[in-house]
């Protein structure tokens, strides 16, 4: 008998009767005792390991099932771990006739749960960043042996070198902005060829490893802890729809149906309305769910039970290991809907304080709301269990409405109509709202680089119902960089995040006068919002737009916020009596965010192209 530790995923070479045995991977690499879930799936990978059968002789640990698959190089073990089992090294015996060996598997103590897995809600303000584009704090990891692509700053479609150390170096900056949560686009290993460029992180080649050009699992965990120490939260980006073409599975798939057949189903049609369409064809549904996203992203088959269990367990492993507070699930509507409902339910059952937002990129409220937990209007019986959705319809209404001439259904009326359909959501205050992100043109550029419209858009973002998310660089009113493709135009690096940058926007002296001005405006707005319970939990009451003005309130018992928008080029006057049902309930008013006292008279005058905001109290 030979005994070797696989805890650190080191290779084991065992030979009996001329049979070579190399269990090179166990996933997950370790587990914990007294977990909120008792079941554990182990995926063992090594030459011909599927020919072996396992046994465990540990009180409190039972081997419920073991599964050999199409590839002889995999063996899946299903364990049940009783709550009484202490932290230990678990010995697993594998036998194939007279051939046998043991492997060690670590069961660790859980960390204290206080301050971890907190969730996020409408009291938060999320800062979205792409790590590769934010700051390079460690030049030594720009090139890593064994990873195909190094840093090439001459080409914006390639890696730029941003990393965990760069983020850590600038946590003061993010905290000072008034952000309370950070959403990082994926940091999983993306070992894609240079011709593709995996800087974005959405083509994972190892779902249990942080990309070494960004950092390590340990440095990611430390980053989460450091963010928590500042009273902020972390949202992890995950992808269960697809993997990268160079994922290690792809050279030896466990089963023939592990990924969908691109020759049969082609590429997705990207039409997210299909699952909620009662008239959708099976052909279109198959293309959406089973088609590959792009040629470098094989589409996963979550109807394979082994794969579904693997993916769910991977999520639970990262939550437990790192202490993250929420997940943003990429391409939520592309996998099988029943799988996404199961995944969401199991994660939230294990971590009740946790939150998940699903990326649901559709154009209408009816199709967006279909994906929120227990929506009131869905007749096909589907329930996603998903607390939060990405509110694309509101984003489009703000971005496009502010560019248009005012009319019955155009201009500011678009925002009104988006709010007017909130009855279709289970809880619109759980929607993640935004005016741009890493997949869209930057809002300042989209609005024609008009500062007035930019400030109106930001005012709506911070005062609308929901959980606001701000894209990195928006605090500097970033436009586009005219190099590379569209994606790269709005995924530029932060000046000062690289040692050879000529200036640093992380310092007042390194910013332009205009950048300092807009940054001060954003900070004041952000910190004001953080203190407003009405904006966190208050109901929304709106008045129909009139002559390019739009007024709505957020109301919470003894306090309220009034938002009055003038989209026109001339001053506008509002009759305060029109809003008496709200204004008569409050005696005091101050102008937000500064807090100067304001006396409400018969008429309220609005400056051209502006948002006027009042704090109301009794």
Active site positions, annotated: 330, 359
Q: Please name the residues in contact with 333: beta carbons below 8 A apart, sequence gap of 6 or more.
A: 272, 275, 288, 340, 358, 360, 361, 362, 371
What tokens appear for 312 in the block? Answer: 């769910």
Contact indicator for 366, 277 with CB cutoff of 8 Å: no
Q: Tell me how far apart the alpha carbons of residues 419 and 429 are, in angstroms, rounded to a whole number.
A: 11
Tell me the three state secondary structure of residue 131.
Answer: helix
Report the relative pairing of strands 549-556 and 559-566 from DSSP bridges: antiparallel
What is the 3-state composition of the chain as percent helix, strand, coil, each rounded to the nearest 5?
Answer: 30, 25, 45
Kindly state the helix (H) or strand (E) to which residue 105 belongs, with its residue range: strand 99-108
The CA dihedral of 475, 477, 483, 489, to the nearest 10 degrees, is 60
Q: From residue 396, how far is each of 412, 432, 474 by CA, in Å?
A: 12, 13, 17
DSSP string, 295-347: TTSPBB-TTSHHHHHHHHHHHHHHHHHH---EEEEETTTSS-HHHHHHHHHHH
DSSP designation for 267: B
Q: Which of 505, 479, 486 is nearest to 494 (CA)?
A: 505
Q: From residue 130, how far is each of 187, 236, 251, 487 by CA, in Å?
A: 9, 12, 29, 12
How many CB atoms sit inside 10 A of residue 362's CB?
A: 23
What tokens appear for 264 in the block? Answer: 């049969």
The CA dihedral of 538, 541, 545, 551, to the nearest 10 degrees, is -50
Q: Tell me how far apart the alpha carbons of residues 371 and 275 are, in angstroms, rounded to a whole number.
A: 9
Q: Where are the beta strands (DSSP E) in 69-152?
A: 74-81, 88-96, 99-108, 126-129
Half-sphere CA count of 409, side-chain side, radius 13 A: 0
What tokens appear for 59 in the block? Answer: 């009180």
DSSP string, 429-493: GGSEEES--TTS--HHHHTTT-HHHHHHHHHHHHHSSSEEEEETTGGGT----SSSSHHHHTSPP
Q: Please name the residues in contact with 360: beta carbons below 8 A apart, sequence gap of 6 or more.
A: 272, 332, 333, 367, 368, 371, 389, 390, 392
- Count the helices and strands in the chain (H runs, E runs): 17, 29
What tokens appear for 524 in the block? Answer: 């004041």
Alpha-carbon 613 to chain mean position:
30
Q: Tell me how far apart the alpha carbons of residues 132 and 496 are, in angstroms, rounded to a whole number.
A: 14
- Span between the terminal Cα atoms of the chain, in Å: 79
Q: Tell me how far apart the alpha carbons of residues 108 and 578 are, in angstroms, rounded to a whole number.
A: 63
Tell me the three state secondary structure of residue 76.
Answer: strand
């Amino acid at each position: 008998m030979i005994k070797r530790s696989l805890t650190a995923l080191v290779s084991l070479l065992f030979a009996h009767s001329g049979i070579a045995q190399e269990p090179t991977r166990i996933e997950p690499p370790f587990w914990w005792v007294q977990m909120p879930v008792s079941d554990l799936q182990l995926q063992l990978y090594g030459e011909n390991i599927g020919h072996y059968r396992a046994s465990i002789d540990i009180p409190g640990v039972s081997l419920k099932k073991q599964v050999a698959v199409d590839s002889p190089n995999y063996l899946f073990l299903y364990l049940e771990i009783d709550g009484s089992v202490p932290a230990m090294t678990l010995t697993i015996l594998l036998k194939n006739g007279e051939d046998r060996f043991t492997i060690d598997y670590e069961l660790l103590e859980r960390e204290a749960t206080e301050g971890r897995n907190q969730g996020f809600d409408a009291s938060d303000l999320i800062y979205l960043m792409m790590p590769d584009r934010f700051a390079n704090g460690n030049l030594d990891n720009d090139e890593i042996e064994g990873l195909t692509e190094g840093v090439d700053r001459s080409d914006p479609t390639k890696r730029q070198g941003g990393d965990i150390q760069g983020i850590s170096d600038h946590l003061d900056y993010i905290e000072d902005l008034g952000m309370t949560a950070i959403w990082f686009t994926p940091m999983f290993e993306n070992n894609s060829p240079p011709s593709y460029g995996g800087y974005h992180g959405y083509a994972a080649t190892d779902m249990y490893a942080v990309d070494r050009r960004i950092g390590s699992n340990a440095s990611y965990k430390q980053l989460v802890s450091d963010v928590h120490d500042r009273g902020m939260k972390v949202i992890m980006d995950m992808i269960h729809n697809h993997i990268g073409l160079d994922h290690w599975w792809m050279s030896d798939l466990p089963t023939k149906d592990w990924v969908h057949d691109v020759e049969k189903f082609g590429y997705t049609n990207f039409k997210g309305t299909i699952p909620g369409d009662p008239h959708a064809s099976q052909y279109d549904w198959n293309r959406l769910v089973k088609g590959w996203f792009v040629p470098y992203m094989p589409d996963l088959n979550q109807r394979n039970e082994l794969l579904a269990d693997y993916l769910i367990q991977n999520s639970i492993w990262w939550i437990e290991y790192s202490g993250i507070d929420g997940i943003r699930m990429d391409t939520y509507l592309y996998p099988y809907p029943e799988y996404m409902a199961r995944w969401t339910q199991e994660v939230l059952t294990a971590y009740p304080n946790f939150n998940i937002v699903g990326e649901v990129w559709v154009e209408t409220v009816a199709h967006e709301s279909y994906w929120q937990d227990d929506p009131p209007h869905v007749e096909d019986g589907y329930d996603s269990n998903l607390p939060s959705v990405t509110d694309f319809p509101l984003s489009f209404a703000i971005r496009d409405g502010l560019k248009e001439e005012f009319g019955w259904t155009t201009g500011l009326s678009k925002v009104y109509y988006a709010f007017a359909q909130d009855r279709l959501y289970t809880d619109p205050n759980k929607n993640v709202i935004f005016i741009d992100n890493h997949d869209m043109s930057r809002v300042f550029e989209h609005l024609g680089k008009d500062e007035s419209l930019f400030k109106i858009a930001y005012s709506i973002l911070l005062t609308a119902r929901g959980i606001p998310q701000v894209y990195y660089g928006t605090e500097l009113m970033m436009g586009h960089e005219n190099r590379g493709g569209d994606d790269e135009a709005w995924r530029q690096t932060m000046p000062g995040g690289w040692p050879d940058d000529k200036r640093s926007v992380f310092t007042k002296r390194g910013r332009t006068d205009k950048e300092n001005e807009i940054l001060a405006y954003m900070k004041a707005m952000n910190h004001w919002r953080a203190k407003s319970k009405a904006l966190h939990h208050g109901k929304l009451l709106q008045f129909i737009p009139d002559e390019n003005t739009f007024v709505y309130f957020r109301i919470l018992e003894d306090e309220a916020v009034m938002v009055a928008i003038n989209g026109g080029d001339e001053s506008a006057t509002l009759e305060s009596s029109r809003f008496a049902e709200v204004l008569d309930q409050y005696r005091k008013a101050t102008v937000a965010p500064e807090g100067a006292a304001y006396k409400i008279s018969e008429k309220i005058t609005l400056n051209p192209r502006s948002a006027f905001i009042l704090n109301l109290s009794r």
